[in-house]
Amino acid sequence: MKKVTVLVPCYNEEEALPLFYERICGTISSLDGYEWELLFINDGSRDRTLQIMRNLHARDSRVSYVDLSRNYGKEKAMLAGFDYAAGDCTIIMDADLQDPPELIPQMLGYWEEGYEDVYAKRNSRGRESLSRRFFSLMFYSILQKTTRIEVLQNVGDFRLLDRCCTDAMKNLREAERYTKGMFCWIGFRKKEIVFDRGDRVAGKSSWNFFSLLALAIEGITSFSIAPLRISTVSGAIISLAAFIYMIFVFVKTLILGDPVQGFPTTIIIILFLGGVQLLSIGLLGEYIGRIFIETKHRPVYIAREHNGTLIK
Ligand code: UDP
Ligand code: MG
């Protein structure tokens, strides 16, 4: 019998988790012919999430859990999930039921047809602020224009991955992770299904503007060096313009003499170039920072406990 892992990263989900468990049990009980594993990753929750996982594990042999030593963020929690997932395929879901379990039969259907990565594309984005929608649109268009691989818009982490994809994901052990891009990077046979994303059933989203901005910068800088190229090109353009202007001023002075003028222009140019330089240095810093973090070769996460046994 084929084994299916449902992988759920959880951070402060004490309210949503029991509801999630109910719903998912409803779905999988109607799907015969599969062995199930519900793998919960406790990403350093501060509430009773871990206790709930322990209770579920004691009650239901399909449930297993991994407890991380602190909050590492969803991206790293998902890697922990890939490491511990035992199934022939893995379905990644959020605990807040924004990803409807009712889609699972359809995903499994495509998997049986031979697709290796069945991802769910959001038709609507649920209840979200206008600004979040705007920034997300902007981010995707920048990402699209600066990277060679196609990162799909409105596609989250809700997807079914065949064993070959999970194994591939396990091999990508960079500390700074942009998982959504990695799914595209690993390739394999992909299939899209469309769904309406609902709202959170309980609790609140742990993302805020700054964490999303950080993820966006992460996404762009970890998948392309186009920003560096942009600063090289703009440096070249500005230098060329300055050179042409120099010749112009030189000739003008020769012909018309030199009444000293143009104080505001000078200041503006100095400020502008100062700004461009600082921006470029900051950009370099982003990449150097990334190199710094990766060269330390730390494990991406540290797990404390797996199904009740401490990890040494
Ligand atoms: N999550 C996590 N670690 C974190 C933040 C979130 O494991 O540091 C989990 C969270 O419990 C949920 C999923 O990631 O299952 C999606 O989080 P959330 O609903 O806050 O994100 P949104 O749906 O707003 O994108
Ligand atoms: Mg959510």
* pLDDT for the residue 77: 95
pLDDT over 90 percentage in the chain: 38
**279 shares a domain with 305:** no
Mutation test residue for ligand 1: of 13, 94, 177, the one with most atoms within 8 Å of CB: 94
> What is the per-residue pLDDT for 21?
93
Q: Which atom of ligand 1 is nearest to the CA of 71?
A: 8
How many domains does the structure of the chain reveal?
2
Q: In angstroms, what is the span from residue 238 Cα to ligand 2's centroid?
A: 45
pLDDT for 127 equals 65
In a domain, 163, yes or no: yes
Going by CA atoms, what residue is nearest to atom 13 of ligand 1?
A: 94
pLDDT digits (tens, 9 = 90+) for 74-94: 999 999 999 999 999 999 999
Output the pLDDT for position 125: 60
pLDDT score for 146: 73
Q: Are residue 171 and residue 270 in the same domain, yes or no? A: no
Highest mean pLDDT among 17-26, 138-147, 151-160, 200-209: 17-26
* Domain containing residue 288: 226-295
- The whole-number pLDDT of residue 63 equals 93
Task: Judge if the beta carbon of residue 38 lies within 6 A of ligand 1.
Answer: no
- Residue 207, ligand 1, Cβ within 6 A: yes
- Asked if residue 53 lies in contact with residue 306, where contact means CB atoms within 8 angstroms, the answer is no
For position 82, which CATH number holds? 3.90.550.10
Structure-block tokens of residue 78: 């998902």
What number does the ligand 1 atom closest to the CA of 93 have? 15
Is 232 a member of any domain? yes
Position 278 scores a pLDDT of: 86
Is there a single domain that holds both residue 188 and residue 276?
no
The verdict on 248 and 303 lying in the same domain is no
- For the chain, what is the HEC assignment? CEEEEEEEEECCCCCHHHHHHHHHHHHHHCCCCEEEEEEEEECCCCCCHHHHHHHHHHHCCCEEEEEECCCCCHHHHHHHHHHHCCCCEEEECCCCCCCCHHHHHHHHHHHHCCCCEEEEEECCCCCCCHHHHHHHHHHHHHHHHHCCCCCCCCEEEEEEEEHHHHHHHHHCCCCCCCHHHHHHHHCCCEEEEEECCCCCCCCCCCCCHHHHHHHHHHHHHHHCCHHHHHHHHHHHHHHHHHHHHHHHHHHHHHHHCCCCCCHHHHHHHHHHHHHHHHHHHHHHHHHHHHHHHHHCCCCCCCEEEECCEECC
Q: Which of 208, 107, 212, 105 is nearest to 158 (CA)?
A: 107
- Taking the CA atoms of 24, 203, 13 and 121 in sequence, report the sign of the dihedral they define: positive
Q: Is the domain of 199 the same as that of 64?
A: yes
User: Are 108 and 167 found together in one domain?
Assistant: yes
Atom of ligand 1 nearest to the CA of 73: 8
- Report which of 309, 308, 303 is spatially closest to residue 42, judged by C-alpha positions: 303
Q: What is the largest CA-CA distance in the chain?
A: 93
Q: Please indicate, yes or no, if residue 188 is contained in any of the structural domains.
A: yes
Residues 48 and 188 in one domain: yes
Are residues 231 and 121 part of one domain? no
9 ligand 1 Cβ < 6 A: yes
Residue 94 lies in a domain: yes
Shared domain check, 206 and 118: yes
Residues 200 and 248 in one domain: no
Does residue 254 share a domain with residue 119? no
- CA 162, CA 79: separation in Å to the nearest integer? 15
| Band of pLDDT at residue 241, cut at 50, 70 and 90 | confident
Flag the least confident range among 22-26, 33-37, 204-208. 204-208
* Cα–Cα dist 104/89, whole Å: 12
Task: Kindly state whether residues 106 and 167 are assigned to the same domain.
Answer: yes
pTM, 2 dp? 0.79
Beta strand 117-122 pairing with 155-162: antiparallel
Tens of pLDDT, residue by residue over 38-69, are: 999 999 999 999 999 999 999 999 999 999 99
